[in-house]
Homo-oligomer: A and B are copies of this chain.
Amino acid sequence: MSPPSPDPLRGASSLRDWLEARRPEVEMALDRYLPAAPACPDRLGEAMRYSLLAGGKRLRPVLVLASAEATAIASGADPAAALALAMPAACALELIHTYSLVHDDLPAMDDDTLRRGRPTNHVVFGEGLAILAGDALLTEAFVLMAREPASNGDAALDARKLRAIAVVAGAAGACGMVGGQAIDLEAAGSGAQFDADGLKAMHARKTGELIRASAVAGAIMAGASDAQVAAIQRFASELGLAFQIVDDILDVEGASADLGKTAGKDAAAGKPTYPALYGLDASRRMAHECVTRAVAALDGGGLAGQLPAIAQWVTSRTN
C-alpha cells in the first residue's frame, strides 16, 4: 500500500471550503451556458461536452472568481454579486482553455492520445470533428462574454464586458496563447533548443497569458480600479510562471497516474523544461519565489481573499 499523498490544501481549510462551493457552481454554469440541440448539432455538442466536462482543476474559472471576489472585498462591495457578475467570464476562460487542449492534442500538433485520463477528443470523435469542436468552444466563449450577464441598458456593465473581452481575446490570440503555441511548434519542428529566456517567453505566452487574463477579467467584471487591475496583473504573471515550473517538475517526476496524461513526454521529446535547465531543487525554489512575489503584488492593491491561498495551492499541487 502506498502512503497517502501529502495534502496540498492542509492548513488552508477555508480555501478548500471555498473551492468546494465554487466548483459545482462552475460545473453547472458550464453545462447551462453550452449551446444545446437542436440549435447545436448533436455530435458537435457531444464532442464539445466530452472535453469541457471532463473535470480538471478549473484553475482559470477559479482565478476569475477569486479575483472578482477579492476586488469586491477590497472595494467594500458585495462578494456574492461580484461572483455572479464574473461567472460568464469564468466559464468562457474554461471554454478557451479546453479548446486549446483539444487543438494541442491533434496529430499535427502534440499528437497526444491521453488527456485527463481519457482518450483525447480526436481519438474519440475523429480529427475533423475535434478541430470543429475546438473552433466552436473558442467562438462560444465570446458569445457568452458578449451576452452574459445581460446588460439591460447598464452602460457601466457594457464597458466592463467589452474590456474583459478585449483582455481575454488578446491573451488568447496571436500575441498570446496561440503565439506561444506557434513558437513551441516551430521549435519542435526545427529541433532548435530554447535558452532560459526563450523558454520563459514561450511559456509566458502559451500558459501564462490565459492565466493572467483570467485574474484580470475577474477583477474587471467586479469593477476594479486601474491600480487594482495592475496589482492583479503582477500577481497573475508570477502565478502563471510558477504554474509552468511546477508543471515541468511534475512531468519530470512522472506523476503520470495523477496527471492523467502521458508522463515524461516533454522531457522525453527533448523539449526544454525548467528542471532540465536548472535542476529540480532550483526549479522548486524558483516556483516558490514566484509565489512570494505574486502575493506581495496583491498588497499593493489591498487585495487578498482566496488569491494568496490559490497561489500556494498551485505550487504545492501534485497533479
Contact = CB atoms under 8 A, between A and B. Distances in A.
B136 A179 contact: yes
A296 interface: no
Nearest to A142: B169
A191 interface: no
B45 A174 contact: yes
A173 B129 contact: no
A138 B136 contact: no
Interface residues of A, number: 53
A35 B126 contact: no
A161 interface: yes
Interface of A is mostly: helix
A170 interface: yes
A165 interface: yes
Contact of A136 (B132, B146, B151, B173): B173
A186 B47 CA distance: 13
B131 A143 contact: no
A127 B39 CA distance: 30
Contacts of A155: 155, 158-159
A272 B185 CA distance: 38
Oligomeric state, in copies: 2
Given A138-B139, A165-B142, A131 B131 contact: yes
A4 interface: no
A143 B162 contact: no
A174 B131 contact: no
A126 B189 contact: yes
B127 A108 contact: yes
A70 B178 CA distance: 37
Interface centre among A99, A109, A135, A183 (most CB of B within 10 A): A135
B146 A169 contact: yes
A153 B159 CA distance: 8
A48 interface: yes
Contacts of A179: 39-41, 44, 136
Contact of A135 (B40, B103, B158): B103
A154 to B, nearest CB: 10
A175 interface: yes
A189 B153 CA distance: 46
Contacts of A185: 128-129, 132
Interface in A155-173: 155, 158-159, 161-163, 165-166, 169-170, 172-173
A229 B49 CA distance: 33
Nearest to A45: B174
A221 to B, nearest CB: 14
Given A35-B175, A103-B131, A146-B165, 17 more contacts: A39-B179, A40-B175, A44-B178, A108-B128, A129-B182, A132-B182, A136-B178, A136-B179, A139-B173, A140-B169, A142-B165, A143-B173, A146-B169, A147-B166, A155-B158, A158-B159, A162-B162
11 contacts: A39-B179, A45-B174, A99-B135, A129-B185, A136-B182, A138-B138, A142-B142, A142-B165, A146-B162, A153-B159, A155-B158
